[in-house]
Structure 1
Amino acid sequence: MSPLSITRTLPPDATAAALRADVTEGLSRTPKHLPPKWFYDARGSELFDEITTLPEYYPTRAEREILRATADRIAAATGARTLIELGSGSSDKTRHLLRALTGLQTYLPVDVSESALRAAGEALLTEHPGLTVHALVADFQRGLTLPKTPGPRLLAFLGGTIGNLLPAERAAFLDSVHALLSPGDALLLGTDLVKDEATLVAAYDDARGVTAAFNKNVLEVINRELGGDFDPADFDHVARWNAEREWIEMRLRARDDLTVKIPGVDLAVPFAAGEELRTEVSAKFREDGVRSELAASGLKLTEWWTDSAGRFALSLALRL
């Protein structure tokens, strides 16, 4: 069996420093905001896994349906010898690609969690003993350098995660993808699609309240890591469709006037009754918009696949 190698490109204190910076910047301004990456501690990851099984939350099932139907076509179109996956997590959906990419030599998962990379990498090596797995502990938004690997290369960014980036961040991300790839390499991109408001809001505000618990978990992260005294019961979960920007916003709304102390960043944060803290943006897309954004970064959309209900899309784009 090929060995699993893990390269850490983040300094040991990078995650803690980034949390301090994001909390200081996001909670010191009006309107208040936090980036969604802070949902995903161990408890948050468990809650998100539960969300993906809820009847209201269609994206995971829809993307998996597309991958099952198109993995062979993706393999034929790319001939990839290296698969790079950003935000790989458990690498669960990637298994469809790994089975189809018969000429694959190297799998390069990228994630901020070393424990998740190790667990997924060891499992994959058991399933694919001839595969080389070179995991990177890295934040793809903070500059990424890839090791030399055989081409052609296929970079996968799945789950609709690109929707969590604001438009300027998306443009910068796609520019960075172009810089990472060589001509003839490809990007496989998962995007959730614009649809009726009721379906979208329900996916982020389920009847069982799992998404509400997931949203409030960011407060628990701040309490644990920075000594905050947030009481999640002081906030209501809010999911709202912004029709103008075509994105879902998740927010936490203060029930009463209150002040939260966060000693780890020397902050006392006042909230007025009804004031909202934005914790996530999840943009939804249309094919023409995806094509345009890719083209602006030197990536040509060549394939567009949706699930049977037309809710979610996978697109394949070549680096020009």
Structure 2
Amino acid sequence: METEPLVPTRKDSFEAETKLFKDHAHSDNEAQVYDVRRQVIARSLVPCIVEGLKSEVKQSPPLLLWDDRGLSLFDAILESPQYYPARREWALLRKTIQDIARNIPNRNRVVELGAGNMKKTELLLHTLQGQQKRVEYLACDVDESALRRGISELRARFEGSSPYITIHGLLGTYEDCAAWLNLKSGGLPTSLIWLGNSMANFTPEQASKYVQSFLSSGSSMIIALDGCQDQREIAESYEGQCNREFILNGLSNANQILDDNVFAVNDWGFCGNWDPDLCMHESFYVAQKDLTVNVCGETYRFKSGETMRSIKSGKWPRAKVLEICNNAGGRVKELWMDENQSYGVYVVEKV
């Protein structure tokens, strides 16, 4: 089954679709990235920054973390020996990748949410190629330069040498991707890949709404989630120097978006907190002295030691994941756990 081709534009391309499964090879490696944003992401973050400063519990939009430099800093976290989630997920994926790939049908659209450095993507696509499945792979991310770079590298490895894999990018947020899929699924089977415990950057209620939105488009989902409850391991993974640099870069990105040095980065520190009752780790900016922040004509004051939340990372046991999927109108069709019975990969489909 085919749909009309996406028209690559910088704006107003939300209505477009992709022509899939063409037997063709590209003679160049220029990344094809299609813009599915309903509004420019940087511009949309300004009211989110203001809203977070006004909230009772001050917080900043997590999307501030994922500019090009932030992605590079996060790659350093992934490679650090202290960061157990990457090691456990990679070991589990390598062990189960054949079974995971068998849950992706032939002649299928594969959309990866928050694709990042695409190391895991390459493993999956090699496996699908080995199973002789024709797939259109679409990486969805919010940073255009990193997305284009990753797509170019993947196309250099696969297209022209593989008759099975075609590769493109989708520039947009999770919400943009869900809206595009719901509007333009066209009955085409789609498998959504959501790895890296990224779904747990939201509350369980928010995560359930995302799953419901994606499943309503007719997609199935393959989700990787961390359920570790060891406070020491979590602190070592989320509260080191690499994490500090990654989190504080969010303030630098906020300054760039606001076109003003609103947050003097040297006036802010970093801390983390593990809440075992919520199975949630949170990262915070910490005011190092009394501060005044001026944004869009409004003034916000921070006492020395006052915090502003940056990002959450849930650590959901298997039972919690099943509950989240059930609340979304989905069911876990198949799952694999690591040797610690903490890190899991879940195949989810609509009931």
TM over 0.5: yes
1:199 Cα deviation from its structure 2 partner: 1.0
Q: Distance in 2 between matches of 1:121 and 1:236?
A: 35
Is 1:84 matched up with 2:111? yes
CA-CA distance at 1:153 after TM superposition: 2.9
Counterpart CA distance in 2 for 1:217 and 1:5 is: 28
Alignment-derived partner of residue 47 in structure 1: 73
Residue 116 in 1 paired to residue 139 in 2? no
Determine the structure 1 residue equivalent to 2:8: none
- Runs of 5+ consecutive residues of structure 1 not aligned to the other structure: none
Does the 8 Å CA contact 1:82/1:150 hold for their aligned counterparts? no
SS of the residue 1:245 aligns to: coil
Q: Are 1:191 and 2:225 counterparts?
A: yes
Corresponding residue of 1:94: 121
What TM-score do the two structures reach when normalised by structure 1? 0.90
* Gap runs ≥5 in structure 2: 1-23
Structure 1 residue 150 displacement after superposition: 8.2
1:30 aligned partner: 56
Report Cα offsets for 1:141-193 as digits up to 9, x if no partner.
244213557854321001101111123321210111111225xxx31101111
Is the contact made by 2:142 and 2:173 (CA closer than 8 Å) also made in structure 1? yes
Contact 1:90 1:119 in 2 (8 A): no
Whether the 8 Å CA contact 2:215–2:221 is kept in 1: the answer is no
The 2-side partners of 1:124 and 1:135 are apart by 11
The one of 137, 143, 156 aligned to 1:107: 137
What is the distance in 2 between the residues matched to 1:52 and 1:241?
Answer: 20
Give the fraction of aligned pairs with identical amino acids, expressed as a percent: 27
**Aligned residue among 138, 141, 144 for 2:179:** 144
Q: Distance in 1 between matches of 2:84 and 2:314?
A: 15
Alignment correspondent of 1:287: 318
**Amino acid in the other structure paired with 2:76:** E
**Count of equivalent residues:** 312
Structure 2 CA distance for aligned equivalents of residues 298 and 148 of structure 1: 19
Alpha-carbon shift at residue 313 of structure 1 (Å) = 1.4
Residue 318 (structure 1) aligned with residue 339 (structure 2): no
Evaluate the alpha carbon distance shift between residue 148 and residue 174 of structure 1 in structure 2; reply closer, same or farther with a 3 A threshold.
closer
C-alpha contact (below 8 Å) 1:191/1:314 kept by paired residues = yes
Letter in 2 for 1:187: M
SS for the counterpart of 1:144 is helix
Deviations 1:245-298 (A, max 9, x none): 110010112122121233xx2232210122110111111111111112112222
Where does residue 43 of structure 2 map in the other structure?
17
Which stretch shifts more, 274-283 or 150-159? 150-159
Partners in 1 of 2:103 and 2:56 — Cα distance?
47
- CA offset at residue 316 of structure 1? 1.3
Moved more, 103-112 or 73-82: 73-82
Counterpart position of 1:212: 244
Q: What is the SS of the residue equivalent to 1:248?
A: strand
Q: Tell me how far apart the structure 1 counterparts of residues 42 and 102 of structure 2 sit (CA, whole Å).
A: 42
The answer to whether the aligner puts 1:62 opposite 2:88 as a matched pair is yes
- Do 2:113 and 2:141's aligned partners in 1 also have CA atoms closer than 8 Å? yes
Whether 2:210 is the aligned partner of 1:180: answer no
TM-score (norm 2): 0.83
**Matches of 2:253 and 2:299, distance apart in 1:** 17
Find the aligned partners of 1:228 and 1:32 in 2 and give their Cα distance: 19
Question: Is the 1:106–1:149 Cα contact (8 Å) retained in structure 2?
Answer: no
Q: Which residue of 2 aligns with 1:247?
A: 280
Residue identity opposite 1:172 in structure 2: K
Q: Which residue of 2 aligns with 1:277?
A: 308
TM-superposed CA distance for 1:127, in Å, is 1.9
3-state DSSP of counterpart to 1:315: strand
Higher normalized contact order (CA 8 Å, seq sep 6+, divided by chain length): 1
Structural RMSD (CA) = 2.0
